[in-house]
């Protein structure tokens, strides 16, 4: 019997499409309560969050993860029912197998084994923080729980995020930082009119063309040497009434910038708005702050993770900061060391998401080794 595999299958069988949890956290809570964890359910709105802790004093190590998954897409295109976990050719198939119910299962089994083997030698505390709001807006999930923990003066020392970080094989890549994310919605105003009388109207599409070209070329250099340079990407552009004989009165533009710690949100806002102003446009802009960037360099946690991977899998991981954001962005500002380590990410959010069964077992072993190196 493979305990990590069996728990992963139980979790995958629950169709917890964000922000639904479908009983995943209750299942985890029962497993952890059985080994004397203190359990707290911390819901906000329609989001379920679980905060579970073990130990009374000393440095706090937490596993951070999510129980929600993205929608399946066309179910008929899956080789198997996405919520009927299926083993085939050494892989476990199902929505959430890699992102990130496999990691959550490995959290639990690694903790169970660690406490069973090292209870008397343990020095410190273990925490598990799970949310059903990572794949969604990420408003009522980890951000809110961390705020609550800060209010309690609860200090997190080390945070291991189970996001799927591996490229080709488990352990080949760990994330030691993430770019921040800021978006904006820009509305550019003209005057609606008949297409045959352009002199009586102002076409916002024509007015905005040069400004759009300008902001699309914006570039902020990374000075840390650890991140890609920051660029602005336009994700949506909408204008027009649907009629071919009407000059529109408004254009809406949505943009997003993923930025490194050497770029500030103030610099980004100033660059974008200076271009809009230079073209004398009538506009409104609404900025939406996602997460702030973070970067760990050589820390105790990084060394522990690297050494544990090498010990169990016999490879040395690359340290990267690429990809999107993760809930680690809410924990890093507290001063905690944050590292992300999880399964291969080549099938996440795709049809026929899968994870290697052997690597689930290895992941649990690596997690257990990290606990042992930090807490004994």
Rounded to an integer, the average pLDDT of 193-204 is 97
Q: Which residues contact 33 (CB under 8 A, 6 or more apart)?
A: 39, 52
First to last CA, the chain: 28
Residue 80 has pLDDT above 80, yes or no: yes
Residue ranges and CATH numbers for the domains of the chain are 3-178+293-375 (3.40.630.10), 180-289 (3.30.70.360)
Identify the CA nearest to 212 among candidates 251, 259, 183, 246.
251
* pLDDT for position 217: 96
Find the radius of gyration of the CA atoms of the chain: 24
Please give the angle made by the CA atoms of 193, 197 and 203, to the nearest 5 degrees.
Answer: 50
* pLDDT for position 45: 95
pLDDT category of residue 291 using cuts at 50, 70 and 90: confident
- List the beta bridge partners of residue 125: 60
The residues that are catalytic are 68, 134
State percent of the chain over pLDDT 90.
94
* pLDDT for position 292: 87
> Residue 250, SS3?
strand
Helical axes 357-375 vs 102-118, angle rounded to 10°: 40
pLDDT category of residue 325 using cuts at 50, 70 and 90: confident
pLDDT category of residue 322 using cuts at 50, 70 and 90: confident
* pLDDT for position 31: 98
């Amino acid at each position: 019997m493979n305990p990590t595999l069996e728990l992963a299958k139980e979790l995958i069988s629950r169709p917890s499409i964000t922000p639904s949890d479908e009983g995943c956290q209750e299942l985890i809570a029962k497993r952890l309560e059985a080994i004397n964890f203190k359990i707290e359910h911390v819901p906000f709105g329609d989001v379920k969050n679980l905060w579970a802790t073990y130990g009374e004093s000393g440095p706090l190590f937490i596993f951070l993860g999510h129980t929600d998954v993205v929608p399946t897409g066309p179910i008929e295109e899956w080789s198997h029912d996405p919520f009927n976990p299926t083993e085939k050719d050494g892989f476990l198939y199902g929505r959430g197998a890699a992102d990130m119910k496999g990691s959550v299962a490995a959290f639990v089994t690694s903790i169970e084994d660690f406490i069973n083997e090292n209870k008397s030698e343990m020095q410190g505390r273990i925490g598990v923080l799970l949310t059903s709001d990572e794949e969604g807006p990420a408003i009522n999930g980890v951000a809110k729980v961390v705020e609550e923990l800060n209010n309690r003066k609860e200090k997190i020392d080390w945070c291991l995020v189970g996001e799927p970080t591996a490229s080709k094989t488990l352990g080949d890549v760990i994330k030691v930082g993430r770019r921040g994310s800021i978006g904006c919605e820009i509305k550019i105003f003209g005057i609606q009119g008949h297409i045959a009388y352009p002199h009586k109207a102002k076409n916002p599409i024509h007015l905005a063309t040069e400004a759009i070209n300008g902001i699309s070329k914006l570039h902020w250099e990374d000075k840390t040497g650890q991140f890609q340079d920051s660029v602005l990407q336009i994700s949506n552009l909408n204008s027009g009434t649907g009629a071919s004989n009407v000059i529109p009165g408004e254009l809406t533009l949505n943009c997003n910038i993923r930025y490194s710690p050497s770029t500030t949100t103030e610099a980004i806002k100033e660059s974008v708005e200076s271009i809009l102003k230079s073209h004398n446009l009538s506009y409104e802009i609404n900025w939406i702050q996602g997460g702030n960037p973070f970067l760990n360099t050589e820390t105790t946690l990084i060394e522990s993770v690297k050494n544990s991977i090498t010990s169990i899998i016999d490879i040395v991981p690359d340290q990267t900061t690429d990809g999107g954001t993760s809930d680690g962005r809410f924990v890093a500002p507290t001063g905690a060391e944050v590292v992300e380590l999880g399964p291969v990410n080549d099938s996440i959010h795709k049809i026929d998401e899968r994870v290697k069964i052997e690597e689930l077992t290895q992941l649990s072993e690596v997690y257990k080794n990290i606990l042992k190196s930090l807490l004994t």
